[in-house]
Amino acid sequence: MALHFQSIRSSSKGNCLAVFTESTRILIDIGLSSMKRTRSGVAEVFDSNDDVDAVIISHAHGDHISYYPLRVLANAGIELMVHRRCREQLIQKHFIGYGLESLRMSTFDMNSFNVGDITIEPFEVSHNPSYPTFGFSITNGTGKIVIATDLNRYDDIIDRFVDADFIFIEANHNLELLREFYNPNSMYHLPNPSTAKFLEDVCSRSSNPPAEVMLGHISPQRNTPGLAIKEISAHLQRDKRKMGFSLSAAPLNSCSRKVTV
């Protein structure tokens, strides 16, 4: 059974990713800014919010989860899954003390778990030390998708990406634009050159490179999808390494095309 991926939104202003098979539909993060935008964004991939089996949260930052998406989940009866170290932080930051009594919330740890016919293996990534943050290796027996955004180093997790069929990885900012539009929080994110080096290292360790890589969590002020692709492609070509994969970037404010592995 095929495993599909589609980015619903991906930028520093909001993140929501869909992974699905014919029988199971999950979202990774749901950081959309209103109930209306949450419902309409999900409906761009699935027929309705009721089609979602579970939402898995990478961490508690507001561009990945917030009060209004939580209300949509509570109203629709969709299960929210959060790492046990993030649970109280999420409640304190986003529940606002009312309106979420019916929310179905469960926790996971570092062990793999299943939602329908999809297996999810979480791994911790280095981000803001005040916010435990997790990436996910996702399989269904035929394909392997690995997702990681909001990280500032990758040396301790690179083996998670080896021999993946599809990788969704952060390319947050261009260093020149960061100097022009400085943001101290950019220290917690991967710049384009680091993402290029990451892809180089993954390919050198893999028996086969991924079929496709999609760049995400792009800063609206300090990067663009086109600039990220251009800079990363140039790095790989400069090092005389052929890109054995298709490279694309998720749109910031609309859905990506569907990727199937």
Number of domains in the chain: 2
245 found inside a domain: yes
Distance CA 198, CA 172 (A): 13
C-beta separation of 60 from 91 below 8 A: no
Q: For position 240, what pLDDT does the model report?
A: 56
Give the domain-ending residue among 111, 126, 159: 111
CATH of the domain at 79: 3.60.15.10
- Give the residue numbers spanning the domain of 158: 151-252
258 found inside a domain: no
Distance CA 82, CA 248 (A): 29
Distance CA 252, CA 250 (A): 6
Q: For position 180, what pLDDT does the model report?
A: 96
Residue located via tokens 């260093």: 175
Tokens for 236? 């790989």
Residue located via tokens 């509570």: 74
Please tell me the pTM assigned to this model: 0.96
3 found inside a domain: yes
Distance CA 95, CA 39 (A): 19
Low-confidence stretches of the chain (pLDDT beneath 50): none
146 found inside a domain: no
Q: Where are the alpha helices (DSSP H) in 44-174?
A: 67-76, 87-94
Q: For position 49, what pLDDT does the model report?
A: 76
Give the domain-ending residue among 111, 141, 168: 111
CA 181 to chain centre: 24
C-beta separation of 55 from 27 below 8 A: yes
Q: Are both 215 and 156 inside the same structural domain?
A: yes
129 found inside a domain: no
C-beta separation of 191 from 178 below 8 A: yes
20 found inside a domain: yes
C-beta separation of 28 from 59 below 8 A: no
Q: Are both 160 and 248 inside the same structural domain?
A: yes
Other C-beta atoms closer than 10 Å to the C-beta of 79 total: 16
Q: Which residues pair with 15 in a beta bridge?
A: 10
Q: Are both 107 and 157 inside the same structural domain?
A: no
Distance CA 46, CA 24 (A): 11
Q: Are both 173 and 223 inside the same structural domain?
A: yes
161 found inside a domain: yes
Q: For position 97, what pLDDT does the model report?
A: 76
Give the domain-ending residue among 111, 137, 168: 111
Q: Angle of helix 192-205 relative to helix 225-238, nearest 10 degrees?
A: 50
257 found inside a domain: no
